Amino acid sequence: MRIAYPHDSRARAEKSQKVFSLETPRVRYIVLPMNVLHRNSQESARRAALPENYTALGVRRFGRVNWLGMWTLYMKEVQRFMKVWMQTLMAPIITTLLFLAIFSLALAGLRPDINGVPFINFLAPGLIMMAIVQNAFANSSSSLLVSKVQGNVVDILMPPLSPAELNIGITMGGLTRGMFVGAGTFLGMSVFVSMSIYSLTAAVFYAAIASALMSLIGLLGGIWAEKFDHLATVTNFVITPLAFLSGTFYSVQQLPGFAFSVTQYNPFFYMIDGFRYALTGHAEGSLVFGASLLTGLTVILGVVAHVVLARGYRLKS
């Protein structure tokens, strides 16, 4: 027989409360010195493996200009047209050589010298510049339009690139293609026509400024266009007519008074006239005014392209 004491019921109540308690039991542990030393050694090894200018995970500091990103974008634009060089470089060069061959066979013996320059030598710089402007425009405009149509324009917008860096990278890609086509066309024509360079500085300047100007126009056209028909409209009704009707095949001095006055403010005329001076030493317009006009238009279009990229017009929802 067991004798019940008053404290037994209190002890059983306390035991039942512990069994049905919802509190999380506290586990006591002891941190050994060897664990602290091991953790500190791992942290030291991780910090030693990081570069000196590393700040924090997910944060990259480029300074005022992201040179690596801008160079990567430029190389992406160059490799894009170099990958299909038969279409982007050789095709316009061969087309321009066909123009030269047709005019040589049809009119070379019938046309007199123009300003003391043989007709073929007068024609060649205009054809080269025509190829330059068309391909510089096509490179930047097609790059943006294809990205928009395929839905991968986000690959250009997401990287840490400012609007100015996007502007420079895409424009320089079009400039490079224009210069490549111009140099290739000049070398191809040299095989059939006696070509010379009167001023190398002027030749490089006018080829580069024309490529940059048309690349900026192509950038704005690619942003504005929503389908290939829009871009073809600009090419067929603006770029090609201005390239043909700006003294490429004839002297602007043959034009009537009003048409001649309009030509004096046509940037395409100064592209062709300045490049013709660089190869033949003869110009029909003011070289200083032409260079100033082309430089000013390039700066203005560069600012406009910067503003459009910053606002994300037809690029960001």
- pLDDT category at 129 given cuts 50, 70, 90 is very high
Asked, for residue 1, whether it belongs to a domain, the answer is no
Highest mean pLDDT among 13-17, 228-232, 247-251: 228-232
> Which region among 70-84, 132-146, 236-250 has the lowest average model confidence (pLDDT)?
236-250
Distance CA 140, CA 305 (A): 12
Distance CA 89, CA 12 (A): 95
Asked, for residue 59, whether it belongs to a domain, the answer is no
Asked, for residue 298, whether it belongs to a domain, the answer is yes
Q: Are 165 and 73 in contact (CB under 8 A)?
A: yes
Residue 208, pLDDT > 50, answer: yes
Quick one: pLDDT at residue 276? 96
The mean pLDDT value for 193-219 works out to 96
Q: Are 178 and 133 in contact (CB under 8 A)?
A: yes
Residue 140, pLDDT > 90, answer: yes
Residue 29, pLDDT > 60, answer: no
Distance CA 257, CA 270 (A): 18
Share of the chain above pLDDT 70, in %: 80
Asked, for residue 196, whether it belongs to a domain, the answer is yes
Asked, for residue 55, whether it belongs to a domain, the answer is no
Task: Tell the residue number behind the tokens 């010298």, with chain if given.
Answer: 113
Q: Per the structure, how many domains does the chain have?
A: 1
Residue 124, pLDDT > 80, answer: yes
The mean pLDDT value for 50-58 works out to 55
- pLDDT category at 20 given cuts 50, 70, 90 is very low
Q: Are 313 and 223 in contact (CB under 8 A)?
A: yes
The mean pLDDT value for 109-133 works out to 89
> Which region among 2-11, 144-153, 161-170, 172-181 has the lowest average model confidence (pLDDT)?
2-11
Q: Are 138 and 284 in contact (CB under 8 A)?
A: no
What is the greatest pairwise CA distance in the chain?
A: 142
Asked, for residue 4, whether it belongs to a domain, the answer is no
Of 207, 216, 208, give the one whose Cα is nearest residue 169. 216
Task: Tell the residue number behind the tokens 């001076």, with chain if given.
Answer: 277
Distance CA 85, CA 255 (A): 38
The mean pLDDT value for 195-207 works out to 95
**Taking the model in full, what pTM does it have?**
0.80
Asked, for residue 163, whether it belongs to a domain, the answer is yes
- pLDDT category at 205 given cuts 50, 70, 90 is very high
Taking only the tens place, the pLDDT of each residue in 63-76 is 889 999 999 999 99
Taking only the tens place, the pLDDT of each residue in 67-107 is 999 999 999 999 999 999 999 999 999 999 999 998 888 87
Q: Which domain holds residue 208?
A: 67-311
The mean pLDDT value for 306-314 works out to 95
Q: Which pair of tokens denotes residue 68?
A: 């690596």
> Which region among 6-15, 40-49, 283-292 has the lowest average model confidence (pLDDT)?
6-15
Residue 59, pLDDT > 60, answer: no
Distance CA 67, CA 75 (A): 12
Asked, for residue 57, whether it belongs to a domain, the answer is no
Q: Are 246 and 266 in contact (CB under 8 A)?
A: yes
